[in-house]
Chain A
């Protein structure tokens, strides 16, 4: 049985534990031995993206130490955090060969959730059931940063009774961008407005993403506008029997 070390990410851990639970349930049903390294906190992406590299490095070192204690595959419910471990740790430790090697070893066994299911476990159908329409927003770091697009779409295509609706301009950014949405709220708001308008055009009550950051941004905008649509993480849909 493959050992999976769950890295739930700071946002899921703190704000959306139900996503972590859904992921846990899906991975267990997939026949893996799922564990949760208790020492985990955050991958450091918020500071890295803001340019605060010294601070990002401290968090990254902590993360590397924690997951070095835990054997097996590291799986995250987030495209952007997977991207951070896989591509930005290398940048962060560019001048430090010892840490760069340790970061590289972690990156080599790190997977995004849908990528892990499809490419590593070879699963295309989770026997999930969903009654009604679903729209899918391919988040930027997932589909452009990691070239992961086929995997979530394959899994969604096999959800029983779900009617997958194409989101217009699906690949456009929702405007989250971490600190960007705080530093440039006007720009972020315009991009969010477009994303929500495109969601409305699908008439789907549910939007799916593979990243809790984009989820909290889009759901926050919907809630502010008193709109009823729900944004869900793909694990929450795949966990529906």
Chain B
């Protein structure tokens, strides 16, 4: 086992100035974003403790929770599969695609007859872990990553460099050159133009894909809900448009209840991207129901073990609490220097998960011999633990990886330490266990160091020592503290000065525990949000505007005319629409010269819908699927127009998740603002796969 390849990657990363600039920008922007987002959650410390407890409960009773969850998912009409390792998971995906009656139907309609299928994939770290793309491509299938960052790294033939921001290592110029050579578009480094180019290519993929593959952020045991969180809209596309949806879920990603889900959702997007909620939070319960016109007709869930059971039974169990937000990567001073592509095993293979959590999870899932060395690349500074929304004690887990697995191989202690460090520390250990030896070594060191460095108090050491690479070493004192007179205190008594009245009594503070320790986050949280609106409507309007959407209040009588006005202004003469949109006067609409189209037509630029609910605190619209309410109406067009009654606005996510509408729909989407991405240079760009404009009319 050697860390040489890892060290090479570290050196190359540090020397790469483009990478350094990208990583600095990531650390700074994500740090600021997270601090600002948590400022709107004054009780985040309490929430973090609760989240930790929820995750601990799930992991310690994982088998029971998985059984309950699976039973509910099946009851809801989806199919559940269990994969014990990567090979099995890949095999299941192939088998499901092969056996799907809906795909057979689709093929005969298109009279292709080809066995090769198009897989449209939204972001899934488990799929990276099991190397799904390679396996599918080896069988002649085509797989397209549809998250912008993932798409970029796929075009480059790379793997993601960050679990949330896959293309974090690239600058816009590199993306421009990539798109020029791979997509044949004119070179530009304008991020909105690059995003639009990807939108165009990927839109075609969504509309023609045979299979949609997604990950799963959370599985809710009490309801069998699959929760998927995305910003661009690609997650919605791959679960709504293709006839077959396969979801890949790590077996630890369970929460017991919808209340617990609301708790996790208050922490995950804030930690990941600095958002109160991601743009699209999907809750999927079942395949398309008979009266519905979109949503996958067939949904499969593959629950992947691939080392998780072993991890659960090890001292690294707490690593399974992770909700994959990536905050520890953004906070880590080591990740900031090297990025995700430097985390390699001793055989040179890329770790599936980088950063602090990856340095525990990668060896935990795939073995200490190859990936145990990653845990040495940490100063144990604790910035990761500080940033973790579920309070994982990462420094402790990193020291446990370093200590190896005592049950399997006690000689693994000090995983991946260099030979010299190991011998040196073991010798030091023997000396420091004995006062006599320790004192003798100090005397010897004090004298010896003067032979080497008679004058200078700081000694030069060669780079090969490690220490001498960037700094000098202090010369040991000729007389150690223990060997010095401490005012003649053989017995060490009270200081004579203590009885001297000349000494002024020191100031004592009345309440020594006043004030609190303050980390960066605590300081941010100390400044609560200034806008706590008086009514749910005011708050909703404020939050939606912050997200880049528009909210207008209107009287019922004026509504249709106002919506027509907006569409006229955009030169739109036909719009997708639900069968029935509340408060809209169809006759008036027709007279106004705008056609309402109910069949999904991707060419139309606007979509008109109602909503089941709206959430004031996050500016979120809650849309449920159902007869005459296709999910694609709010997804395919550029402009999404929503009609809402003021009475439909609730305060919080918790309340919204408890409503009958949400619990009983086959699929629910929580929409928080227009579709967005920040995958190129963390620059916010509006309108990726979903609508770029979101307009809500609130009828009072």
Q: Pick from A15, A48, A55, A149: contact of B426, CB below 8 A.
A: A55
A173-B333 contact, Cβ under 8 Å, with A30-B506, A223-B472 = yes
CB-based contact B438/A41 at 8 Å: yes
Known contacts A14-B445, A46-B428, A51-B402; A124 and B379 CB within 8 A of each other: no
CB distance from B346 to the nearest CB of A (A): 14
Given A36-B482, A58-B433, A220-B472: A184 in contact with B377 (beta carbons within 8 A): yes
B30–chain A nearest beta-carbon distance, Å: 14
Which B residues between 463 and 514 are near A, CB-CB below 8 angstroms?
Answer: 463, 465-467, 469-477, 479-482, 484, 486, 489, 492-495, 497-498, 503-504, 506-509, 512-513
Most chain A Cβ neighbours within 10 Å, of B377, B417, B471, B486 = B471
Alpha-carbon gap, A147 to B382, bound state (A): 11
- The smallest C-beta distance from B105 to any residue of chain A, in angstroms, reads 56
CB-defined contacts of B377 to chain A, threshold 8 Å: 180, 184, 187
A180 and B379 in contact, given A51-B413, A185-B466 (Cβ under 8 angstroms): yes
Is the CB–CB distance between B426 and A119 below 8 Å?
no
* Shortest Cβ-Cβ A-B pairs, 9 listed: A177-B379, A51-B402, A55-B429, A220-B471, A28-B495, A185-B469, A173-B381, A182-B466, A189-B470
B422 to chain A, nearest CB (A): 7
Q: Which residues 46-105 in B have Cβ within 8 Å of A in the complex?
A: none
Q: Which residues of B contact A36 (CB under 8 A)?
A: 481-482, 486, 489, 492
Residue of A nearest to B446 (CB): A14
Once the chains bind, are B399 and A49 in contact (CB under 8 Å)?
yes
Choose among B435, B471, B506 the residue that contacts A41 (Cβ–Cβ < 8 A): B435
CB distance from A72 to the nearest CB of B (A): 11
- In angstroms, Cα B378 to Cα A61, docked, is 26
Task: Using A52-B425, A149-B517 as known contacts, say yes or no to A124 and B438 having CB atoms under 8 A apart.
Answer: no
A54-B413, A182-B466, A216-B474 known; A144 and B421 CB under 8 Å? no
Binding-face segment, B6-14, B115-123, B254-262, B624-632 = B6-14
Cross-interface CB contact of A51 among B337, B404, B481, B506, cutoff 8 Å: B404
Interface check B136, CB cutoff 8 A: no
Report whether A188 and B433 are in contact in the complex, using a CB–CB cutoff of 8 Å: no
Q: In the complex, which residues of chain B have a beta carbon less than 8 angstroms from the beta carbon of A224? A: 460, 470-472
Residue-wise, chain B 428-448 has the 8 Å CB interface mask toward A (1 for contact) of 111111110010001001000
Chain A nearest CB: distance from B119 CB in Å?
38
- Complex: chain A residue closest to B507, CB-CB: A125
Query: B residues within 8 A CB of A184?
Result: 7, 10, 334, 376-377
Using Cβ atoms and an 8 Å threshold, which residues of chain B touch A25?
495
- Chain B residues lying within 8 Å of A186, measured Cβ to Cβ, are 7, 10-11, 14, 469
Chain B, interface size: which category? 35 or more
Show 8 A/B contacts (Cβ-Cβ < 8 Å), sorted by A. A14-B476, A16-B477, A35-B489, A51-B413, A54-B413, A140-B381, A188-B379, A219-B458
Does A59 reach chain B (CB closer than 8 Å)? yes
CA distance A203 to B186 in the complex (A): 49
Q: Is the CB of A127 within 8 A of B379?
A: no
- Our pick among B337, B442, B474, B509 for the contact of A118 (Cβ within 8 Å) is B509
B476 touching A217, Cβ below 8 Å? no
Q: How far is the CA of A62 from the CA of B386 in the complex (A)?
A: 32
User: Would you give the shortest CB distance from B401 to chain A, in whole angstroms?
Assistant: 8
Which chain A residues in 11-31 approach chain B with CB under 8 Å?
Answer: 12-17, 20-21, 24-25, 28-31
How many chain A residues touch B (Cβ–Cβ < 8 Å)?
95
List chain A residues, Cβ under 8 A from B504. 127
| Residue A164 CB within 8 A of the other chain | no
Given contact pairs A185-B463, A187-B334, A220-B474, A177 touches B378 in the complex (Cβ within 8 A)? yes
- Minimum CB–CB distance for A197 against chain B, Å: 13
Question: Is B17's CB within 8 Å of the partner chain A?
Answer: no
Which residues B160-196 have CB closer than 8 A to chain A? none
B570 near A: Cβ within 8 Å? no
A198 within 8 A of B: no
In the complex the two chains form, what is the Cα distance from A202 to B378 in whole Å?
Answer: 27
B432 touches A10 (CB 8 A): yes
Q: In the docked arrangement, what's the CA distance between A58 and B435, Å? A: 12
B404 CB to nearest A CB, Å: 7
A125 pairs with B425, CB closer than 8 A = no
In the bound complex, what is the Cα–Cα distance between A164 and B337 (angstroms)? 30
Q: Which of B413, B428, B506, B519 contacts A125 (CB 8 A)?
A: B506
Q: Which residues of B contact A (CB under 8 A)?
A: 3, 7, 10-11, 14, 333-334, 337-338, 376-383, 385-386, 395-396, 399, 401-404, 406, 413-415, 417-418, 421-422, 425-426, 428-435, 438, 442, 445, 458, 460, 463, 465-467, 469-477, 479-482, 484, 486, 489, 492-495, 497-498, 503-504, 506-509, 512-513, 515-520
Q: Say whether B470 contacts A192, CB under 8 Å.
A: yes
Residue A108 is within 8 A (CB to CB) of chain B in the complex: no
Say whether B517 contacts A148, CB under 8 Å. yes
Please, what's the 1-or-0 string for A111-135, where 1 marks a CB less than 8 Å from any CB in chain B?
A: 0000000111111111100000000
CB < 8 Å neighbour of A177 from B380, B396, B406, B520: B380
Contact in complex: B403, A53 (CB < 8 Å): yes
Q: What would 14 more interface pairs be, CB under 8 Å, given A55-B429, A172-B381, A191-B333? A: A44-B429, A50-B417, A51-B413, A52-B414, A52-B425, A58-B430, A123-B506, A124-B508, A140-B381, A177-B379, A182-B465, A183-B417, A183-B421, A219-B458
Q: Is A221 part of the binding interface, using a Cβ–Cβ cutoff of 8 Å?
A: yes
What is the minimal beta-carbon distance from A38 to any residue of chain B, in angstroms? 6
Task: Tell me whether A17 and B484 are in contact (CB under 8 A).
Answer: yes
Rounded to whole angstroms, the CA-CA distance of A193 and B414 in the bound complex is 28
| B520 contacts across to A, CB distance below 8 A | 171
Are A123 and B509 neighbours in the complex by a CB distance under 8 Å?
yes
Q: Does A208 contact B (CB under 8 A)?
A: no
The one of B383, B465, B509, B515 that contacts A122, using a Cβ cutoff of 8 Å: B509
Q: Helix, strand, loop or mixed for chain A's interface?
A: helix
The answer to whether A220 and B381 have CB atoms under 8 Å apart is no
User: In the complex, what residues of B have CB within 8 A of residue A189's CB?
Assistant: 469-471
Q: Give the complex CA separation of A55 and B410 in angstroms.
A: 13
Instruction: List chain A residues, Cβ under 8 A from B431.
Output: 41
Contact B466 A51 (CB under 8 A): no
A17 to B475, CA, bound (A): 12
Task: Find out whether the CB atom of A141 lies under 8 angstroms from the CB atom of B477.
Answer: no
Is A150 located at the chain interface by the 8 A CB criterion? yes
- A178–B396 CA distance with the chains assembled, in angstroms: 15
Contact (Cβ within 8 A) B338 A127: no
Known: A12-B481, A33-B493, A48-B399. A191 touches B337 (CB 8 A): yes
Q: Residue A176 at the B interface, CB < 8 A?
A: yes
Contact (Cβ within 8 A) A52 B426: yes
Q: Is the Cβ of B498 less than 8 Å from the Cβ of A28?
A: yes
Give chain A residues whose Cβ lies under 8 Å from the Cβ of B417. Answer: 50-52, 179, 183
Residues of B within 8 A of A158 (CB): 507
A35 to B486, CA, bound (A): 9
With a 10 A CB-CB cut-off, give which of A33, A40, A127, A186 has the most chain B CB atoms.
Answer: A186
**Least Cβ–Cβ distance between B29 and chain A, in angstroms:** 15
Q: Which residues of B contact A66 (CB under 8 A)?
A: 435
Complex-state Cα separation, A56 to B515, whole angstroms: 36
A119–B516 alpha-carbon span in the complex (Å): 12
Contact of B383 among A91, A121, A144, A188 (CB under 8 A): A144
Contacting pair A220 B519 (CB below 8 A): no
Closest Cβ–Cβ distance, residue A222 to chain B (whole Å): 8
Please name all residues of chain B whose beta carbon is closer than 8 Å to the beta carbon of A149 when the two chains form the complex.
Answer: 517-518
Q: Which residue of B lies closest to A145 (CB)?
A: B382
Q: Which B residue's beta carbon lies closest to that of A27? A: B495
Give complex CA distance A140, B14 in Å: 23
Tell me the smallest distance from the CB of B344 to a CB of chain A, in Å.
14
Task: Return A47 CB to nearest CB of chain B, in Å.
Answer: 5
Q: Which chain A residue shows the least CB distance to B494? A: A33
Task: List A contacts of B438 (CB < 8 A).
Answer: 10, 41-42
How does the 8 Å CB contact mask read for A196-235 relative to B, with 1 for contact and 0 for none? 0000000000000000000011011101100000000000
Query: Do the beta carbons of B458 and A223 come within 8 Å of each other?
Result: yes
Cα(A179)–Cα(B377), bound, Å: 10
Tell me if A150 and B517 are in contact (CB < 8 A): yes
Q: Report the bound CA distance from A10 to B128 in whole Å.
A: 46
